[in-house]
Structure 1
Amino acid sequence: MVLSRHRFNRAEKAAQLGVELIEQRVKNPNARIYKVSAEGLEPLAIRPSLPEYLRQLWDRRFFIVADARAKALRSTRDYRLWRTWLVLNPLFDVALYGFLFGFLFKSSRGIDNFIGFLFIGIIFMRMMSGLFTSGSGLMTASRSMIRAFNFPRASIIFSQTLRAMIDNVLPALVCLVSAFLLQWGTPPRWTLIFIVPLFLLLHIFGTGLMFIMARLTAEIPDVKALVPLVTSAWFFLSGVMFSLDRFASFGKIHAIMTANPAHIFLTVIRDSTIYGQVPSLAEWATLLAWTFGTFIVGFVYFWLAEDKYVRIA
Structure 2
Amino acid sequence: MATDDASTPSSAGDIEHIKINASNLSKVGFRPSFWTYLKQVWEFRHFIIFDSRSRIAGDAAKDSLGQTWLVLNPILNGAAYFLVFGIMLGTGRGIENFVAYLIIGVFMYRFTVSAIVAGSKAISGNRSLVTAFNFPRMTLPIAINVRELMRQMIAFVTMIGLIAIIPPLEPISWKWLMFIPIVAIQFLFNLGLSLVLARIVTVWNDFSHIITFGTRIWMYLSAIFYGVERFEDLPIVLTFMYANPLFCILDMTRDVLLYDAWPDPMRWLVLGSWTVGLLVAGSIIFWQGEETYGREER
* TM-score relative to the length of structure 2: 0.87
* Aligned residue in 1 for 2:255: 271
The correspondence for 2:48, drawn from 61, 64, 79, is 64
| Structure 1 residues 81-230: aligned runs within 5 Å | 81-230=65-214
One-letter identity of the residue aligned with 1:59: E
User: Residue by residue, what CA displacement relative to the aligned partner does 1:193-219 show, whole Å, maximum 9, x if unpaired?
Assistant: 001111111111000111011110000
Q: Structure 2 stretches of 5 or more lacking a match?
A: 1-22
**Change in CA separation of 1:60 and 1:106 when aligned onto 2, cut-off 3 Å:** same
RMSD: 1.8
**SS at 1:310 equivalent:** coil
Runs of 4+ in structure 1 off by over 6 angstroms are none
1:105 CA drift (Å): 0.7
**Change in CA separation of 1:100 and 1:233 when aligned onto 2, cut-off 3 Å:** same
Deviates more, 1:222-231 or 1:247-256: 247-256
2:237 is the counterpart of 1:245 = no
| Maintained 8 Å contact 1:131/1:210 | yes
| Maintained 8 Å contact 1:73/1:166 | no
The correspondence for 1:283, drawn from 248, 259, 267, is 267
1:262 CA drift (Å): 0.2
| Structure 1 residues 28-67: aligned runs within 5 Å | 44-67=28-51
- How many residue pairs get matched? 274
1:151 CA drift (Å): 0.7
**SS at 2:233 equivalent:** helix
| Maintained 8 Å contact 1:68/1:163 | yes
One-letter identity of the residue aligned with 1:107: T
| Structure 1 residues 65-80: aligned runs within 5 Å | 65-72=49-56, 74-80=58-64
* TM-score relative to the length of structure 1: 0.83
In the aligned structure 1, how far is the partner of 2:78 from the partner of 2:59? 20
User: Residue by residue, what CA displacement relative to the aligned partner does 1:268-293 show, whole Å, maximum 9, x if unpaired?
Assistant: 01101111101133322222212122
One-letter identity of the residue aligned with 2:114: G
1:252 CA drift (Å): 1.3
| Maintained 8 Å contact 2:100/2:258 | yes
Give the % identical residues: 29
One-letter identity of the residue aligned with 1:106: G
In the aligned structure 2, how far is the partner of 1:49 from the partner of 1:229? 36
1:235 CA drift (Å): 0.7
* Aligned residue in 1 for 2:287: 303
One-letter identity of the residue aligned with 1:178: L
One-letter identity of the residue aligned with 1:210: S
**SS at 1:47 equivalent:** coil
User: Residue by residue, what CA displacement relative to the aligned partner does 1:139-162 show, whole Å, maximum 9, x if unpaired?
Assistant: 121111111111100011111111
In the aligned structure 2, how far is the partner of 1:197 from the partner of 1:73? 27
Q: Structure 1 stretches of 5 or more lacking a match?
A: 1-39
